[in-house]
Amino acid sequence: MTTPARARSRVLAGALLWVAIGGWFGALLLFAAVVAPTAFSMLPDPRLTAHMVGRVLASLQLAGMGLGVLLAALGGGLGRGRLAVALPLVLAAMCAANHFGVAPAVAAIDLTDPAAGAGAGARFARLHQLSMGLFLATTAGVLLLGILHAVRELGEEGRKKARIP
């Protein structure tokens, strides 16, 4: 039997889960669809544009690390299964890899420096593609996480209705 306090905490945890998933997904979409394209089309200096976009992306990656851990805890607390715990942790790890590994390597390449050599452009392109791949995979993963929770929630509701006389 569920106590009223337990029921309230489940409702609050569920609300926090949906706000976190929606906020994360919305922020990722806003960055990809509005912030980055607008910056690259309006700012006159490509280096300034890259710096600005990098700063916004860094904030998204740090937020993603925290949100991944939060969503794993909420998924576990709500009893949504192993995948609901593992997936957000994988997403947080992808954000960490991008933030601490790929992004600094991209930023370290100065394409305007003649001493950088011919391979600098190819290395930059490879790393940038990896960063974009991690970003897109994270975005898809957050969407998948939302679908997973929606399916589990619908299943829980169906089981509750089946028990009501």
What pLDDT score does 85 carry? 98
Residue 39, C-beta contacts closer than 8 angstroms, at least 6 positions apart: 49, 52, 53
Mean pLDDT of 138-156: 95
Domain boundaries, the chain: 4-163
Burial label, 68 (beta-carbon count in 10 A; 0-12, 13-18, 19+):
buried
Return d(Cα 74, Cα 3) in angstroms, integer: 19
Q: Is the pLDDT of residue 111 over 90?
A: no
Q: What is the percentage of the chain residues whose pLDDT exceeds 70?
A: 98
CA angle 157, 161, 162 (to 5 degrees): 115
Mean pLDDT of 69-92: 97
What pLDDT score does 165 carry? 59
Mean pLDDT of 99-126: 88
Return d(Cα 39, Cα 21) in angstroms, integer: 26
Q: Is the pLDDT of residue 94 over 90?
A: yes
What pLDDT score does 117 carry? 77
